[in-house]
Every structure is written in C-alpha cells, then in structure tokens.
Amino acid sequence: MAGSNTNDGFRYLNVRPEKGGVWNLLKFSLWGSNHGLVVVGGGAAAAAAAQEEVHRWVIMVSIVVRKLLHLFRKPMEFTGYVVEFFLNLISQNGSLFTLFSNILLGKVVIPKRGSDSYISIVGQLDKRVDLYKAKKLVGELHESQGIAQLEFSVPETMDQYYQKEKSTQVFITSDKPKDASLILISFRGTEPFDADDWSTDADYSWYDCPGVGKIHMGFLEALGLGNREDIETFSYNLRMKNSKHTYSEAAEESAQLEMAEKSAYYLVRVKLRSLLEEHKNAKFIVTGHSLGGALAIMFPIVLAIHGEMKLMEKLSGVYTFGQPRVGDRQLKKFMEAHLDQPVPKYFRVVYCNDVVPRLPYDDKTFLYKHFGVCLYYNSCYIEQRMEEEPNKNYFAISQMIPEYLNAVWELIRGLAAGFIYGAEYKEGWFSMLFRVLGLAMPGVAAHCPTNYINSVRLGRQCT
C-alpha cells in the first residue's frame, strides 16, 4: 500500500500530503494505493506497511488535516495578522470604549508591529509578566537563583530546512551577566494562526535513528536537522559521534559555525557552548510550550546522539508544557540513561484535557511514547506524578461527555478566577472568548498557556 524506497538503507515513514489530490486520497482511504502520499523506506518497509494497514484512517486524517492547513495557510496568516493588530489596538488605547473615544478625538494610538509594546496573540491571552511567584517550580529549577536579567536574545534562530522558510524561534538568557549560575534556553511554541506549526503537530512521519529509536521527522526538520525531500540529510545530521571527540579543532569549529547559519540546533549549541565557557560554574535548563516543548526535549536528545557528554553534564533539567510525543519506546530507553541519572531531569507538565500531549498516537501502529516524569494537573489544579497522562490518546468516546462538561466548568472558573484566586488571576475578555470556543473544542482550549501558568502557581499535590 505504501510507496517504498529500499535502496537508501534508512528506515522512515514519510507522510507527504502535497503528493496527491482528492482522488489519490480516496484511493488511499479505500485501497491503500497512495501514489507517494506515504513513503516507507528501509529494510523493514514491508513490516511498516503492514502496520500502516491497521490504522490507515489515522494517517488519512493526518493527511486531510495537513492539506486543509496548507490550503488555508495564507488566510490563517492574514487572519492572525488582523486579530493581533486589533487586540493591540484595543490594549494600547486602554479599552474598546477608550478606542472609540480616541477615534472621535483624533488621538488613536496605532500599534507598531515589532515594537516592545506590541504583544502577540498568546501574550494577549495572558498578559502576566512577573511570574516569579511560581516559587514551587522555580525552586525545582534552581535552588537560589531566579531568571533575572536578559543577557542576549536570539528572537529568530532559523534553519533552511523547516518548511523551506524561517520558522523556529528560540531565546537564551542567563540569571546574571557575569558569573552566571543558570542559563535558560526557551523554544517558542505553536502560534495560533501559524498553519505550518499546526501541520507539524499533526504529522505522523518518523525517522529511525540507528541505536537510538524512531524520532518525529517534523521536529527534526524544525531544528534544521534534515529535509524530508532528501532523507540522507537526517542520516548526516544524526550520525553518532565519539564522546571523546575534541571540539577545539579548527576544522570542527568551522563546520559548526557553517551549520549554525542554517540550523536552529547548531546555532543554539554554539551559543550554549560559548556561554558555558564564559560562565564556568553555570548549568542550563531547556523549556518550551507545545511545539516549543517538543523542541526543548529534542535538543538534549540530539546532544546525546552527538556524544556531547560535556554539555549533557551541564544540563540541570528539561521542563516542558503541553508537549507532544517525539519518539518511540526505544528512544525512551535511550534517553532514560541520560536524563534519569542520578536523579530525574526531565519533567512534562500536562494540564487536564489538553489534546497536544496526547499526540501523535501511542498505539501499536505508531508506537509514539512519552518519557520523563509527567506532572499532571486536573482542572482543580491538583498535581499528580505519573508516567503517562490519563486518556493517553484523547479521542476515546467514553471521555467525550466528561471533556465537554469540564469545558463548561473551566468557563465558569475563568469568570470567577479573579474572585477566587485574586486580582492577578482575573481573565480578560479575549481569554474568556477562547474558553467559549473551548465548549466546541475542549482539547484545544485546554492547551492555552494560561492553564499551565495557573497550574504551576496554584497547583497542590494530590494527598
């Protein structure tokens, strides 16, 4: 059923919606004939194709979703631009009423995209900035130092592979400009109106790295570690390296700098190594929400594959929020040796019915597996430590009614949050509108960063 290429020697599953039209999709759904829609490569192509038969409909849904996202890519981008501008227009003029007043008086403040006062859509959902009161999590990150001063920022750390345009964003900061003890690497997550980001989340493609396991192909592309149009690029960028390799050699340094110009992973690695050289006693943590969470755990995964043991020794922890699955059980075993000794360093925060951490599927077809410690918060912000969040594949029919009832409860809680938890927890009209939308799509609304911020700040352990 799957087109295959067994000459390249690599094992992979490459789902390519752009390779077929409606008729090809219909033939794929009925008979498995796909004309390049799904390409399975490597010595285990036949076995993978047989597995693919089991849940062909899941791949079909992924293809349909990604085709629709591609179709509406420009409209989504334009809508996001308009919505973001309108929200900033209101906020920078004080309120909707003040905006109308300023229009009449000719005193309208026009937002300038890219300025310090221009806030993203995610920022408009939750405008809180001073979150240091989340001492519980901060204490776990670092016993004595908070994140205080921005040392430098890389607002757009890009690569040439990911969707053939600049997409991946990351910034790096340290707690002090001199003699820092903590360095933070944070990957930006899925943007609400970015079709490419959502397409990556809905992708089921994987690449099997020998000795490591299957890794989500879309996340590898997002870090600039390969291009699905040329599968050999993944093999080149994921080749295992000797942990005793000397990185001071001129040739190696030159190669790193060259790769840093086109790859998010290599650029972050070069910056991190430079910072750790400058701050001898510093350790680093990696974090991110949604797609950013996936890239956050992918970074140490690739460090381990490359044998970057000196950098791995400096890793204090990985903290992700609403992160999708990134690999299979073999990858889990490979990374546990690096992240569980002598104490766990990898923590996944999952809020209630968030759909994103439950994708891609964890089943006998796709074999995607989470690893690390799951800090699961229910809608009452009660924390439980577990290996896997409940309802791990989300779309269980038995969970539909509870999910919608919980969305109603979250809407009520959002309306009363300012009275129950204090003024700083009061949700604005845009956040409440998002919760109303959650009545139709509870799993998407639960993914909102507000839920994760409140979970960390208000959460209490289950007794």
Average pLDDT over every residue of 201-215 = 87
**Residue 78 — pLDDT band, cuts 50, 70, 90?**
very high
Q: Is the pLDDT of residue 235 over 90?
A: no
pLDDT digits 0-9 by tens, 334-357: 999 899 878 899 999 999 999 999
Listed residue (237, 227, 387) closest to 301, CA to CA: 237
% of the chain at pLDDT higher than 90? 43
CB 358 within 8 A of CB 386: no
**Cα end-to-end span (Å), the chain:** 51
**Residue 16 — pLDDT band, cuts 50, 70, 90?**
confident
**What pLDDT, on a 0 to 100 scale, did the predictor assign at position 335?**
94
Average pLDDT over every residue of 429-457 = 91
Position with higher pLDDT, 139 vs 41: 41
Q: Say what the pTM is.
A: 0.84
pLDDT digits 0-9 by tens, 276-325: 999 999 999 999 999 999 999 999 999 999 999 999 999 999 999 999 99
For the chain, list the domains and their CATH numbers.
Answer: 120-461 (3.40.50.1820)
Biggest CA pair distance of the chain: 72
Q: What amino acid positions are annotated as catalytic residues?
A: 290, 354, 447
